[in-house]
């Protein structure tokens, strides 16, 4: 299902919502953090680089948007104990969670499976699949406290149609699609709606790494796509569950 990026954010439309975004310090995660805060949500910014997280925090506050919360965590090294602690912190400070956006990810390397670096395969699977699985498992009880919660998994076209040489990244996104669909069925009768989203091409570090020779200027900026994330967290998108969503690049 296509989702338009031509969404006009209304100040306060996500007031009182608490939304956790992984990889919130740069790229698409930063863009959605700004827009979600603009819409009035309190964004829990999860990331591993505190310096760039603080820079985004300052930007949000300087713009007069809802103040975010910084949550430093490296998803590669995080253990169940770290997620348990996060769950406890969310219960203590907010009592509920209304949105969980699994945005963080790494591209791994472009390589035939036959030669794929085994250590990098493990890292990619840990960050792109195992971390979202554990994070979701520990945060379901907090999401259950919301009367309208969303989980969004960032996916990719290579997680829906296999493409040679995309290796662990492509396989990890196939796994994310499976996780999203399975969860959406398990949580069908709850207030938690679960969807996956292919944002298509965006002018970020990840895209540049995957396509070093292309003219990056032709790719849309993540800020032009992120209003759609506000829509997906809003009341208007309440009926979406178990969908494979794709962002529609507006010309
Ligand atoms: N850009 C595209 O064209 C495109 C297309 C299809 C799908 N996507 C998907 O969209 C999402 C965002 O992509 P993007 O283009 O914004 O990527 P990006 O610019 O490379 O940003 C990736 C984010 O993930 C974080 N991250 C990576 N490893 C982490 C770890 N171990 N712990 C915590 N955070 C970690 C990064 O933090 P650091 O700064 O610390 O590295 C960064 O904030 C990804 O899931 C990607 O697969 C993107």
Q: Is any ligand 1 atom within 6 A of the Cβ of residue 103?
A: yes
The dihedrals phi and psi of 55, each to the nearest 5 degrees, come to -65, -45
Taking residues 196-201, report their average pLDDT. 97
Q: Is any ligand 1 atom within 6 A of the Cβ of residue 47?
A: yes
Mean pLDDT, the chain, as a whole number? 97
d(CA 9, CA 185): 30
Taking residues 93-97, report their average pLDDT. 98
What's the N-to-C CA distance of the chain in angstroms?
A: 18
Q: Is any ligand 1 atom within 6 A of the Cβ of residue 97?
A: no
> Which stretches does DSSP call E strand in the chain?
2-4, 18-22, 42-47, 69-72, 99-102, 149-154, 192-198, 244-248
Give pLDDT, residue 251.
62
Taking residues 201-224, report their average pLDDT. 96
What pLDDT digit, counting tens, does each position of 9-65 carry? Answer: 999 999 999 999 999 999 999 999 999 999 999 999 999 999 999 999 999 999 999
What pLDDT digit, counting tens, does each position of 137-182 carry? Answer: 999 999 999 999 999 999 999 999 999 999 999 999 999 999 999 9
pTM score, two decimals? 0.98
Q: Among 44, 105, 153, which residue has the most ligand 1 atoms within 8 Å of its CB, making it the best to mutate?
A: 105
Distance 179 CA to ligand 1 centre (A): 18
Q: Is any ligand 1 atom within 6 A of the Cβ of residue 41?
A: no
* In the predicted structure, residue 250 carries a pLDDT above the cut 80: no
Q: Among 54, 72, 109, 206, which residue has the most ligand 1 atoms within 8 Å of its CB, making it the best to mutate?
A: 206
What pLDDT digit, counting tens, does each position of 48-58 carry? Answer: 999 999 999 99
Share of the chain above pLDDT 90, in %: 98
Share of the chain above pLDDT 70, in %: 100
Instruction: State in words which class domain 2-248 has.
Output: alpha beta
The confidence band for 249, taking pLDDT boundaries of 50, 70 and 90, is: confident
The SS3 of residue 67 is: coil
169 is catalytic: yes
d(CA 76, CA 96): 25
Q: Is any ligand 1 atom within 6 A of the Cβ of residue 27?
A: yes
């Amino acid at each position: 299902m296509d989702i338009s990026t031509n969404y006009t954010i209304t100040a306060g439309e996500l007031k009182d919502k608490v939304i956790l975004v992984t990889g919130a310090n740069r790229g698409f995660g930063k863009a959605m953090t700004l827009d979600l805060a603009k819409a009035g949500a309190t964004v829990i910014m999860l990331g591993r680089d505190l310096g760039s997280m603080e820079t985004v925090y300052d930007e949000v506050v300087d713009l007069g948007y809802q103040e975010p919360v910084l949550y430093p965590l490296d998803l590669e090294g995080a253990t169940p104990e770290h997620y348990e602690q996060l769950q406890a912190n969310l219960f203590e400070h907010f009592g509920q969670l209304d949105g969980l956006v699994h945005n963080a990810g790494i591209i791994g390397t472009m390589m035939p499976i036959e030669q794929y670096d085994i250590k990098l395969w493990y890292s990619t699977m840990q960050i792109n699949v195992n971390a979202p699985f554990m994070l979701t498992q520990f945060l379901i009880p907090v999401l259950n406290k919301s009367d309208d919660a969303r989980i969004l998994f960032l996916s990719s076209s290579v997680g829906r149609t296999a493409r040679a040489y995309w290796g662990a990244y492509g396989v990890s996104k196939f796994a994310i699609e499976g996780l999203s669909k399975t969860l959406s069925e398990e949580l069908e009768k709850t207030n938690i709606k679960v969807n996956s989203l292919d944002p298509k091409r965006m002018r970020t570090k990840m895209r540049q790494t995957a396509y070093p020779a292309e003219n990056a200027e032709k790719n849309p900026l993540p800020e032009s796509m992120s209003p759609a994330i506000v829509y997906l967290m809003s009341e208007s998108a309440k009926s979406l569950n178990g969908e494979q969503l794709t962002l529609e690049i507006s010309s």
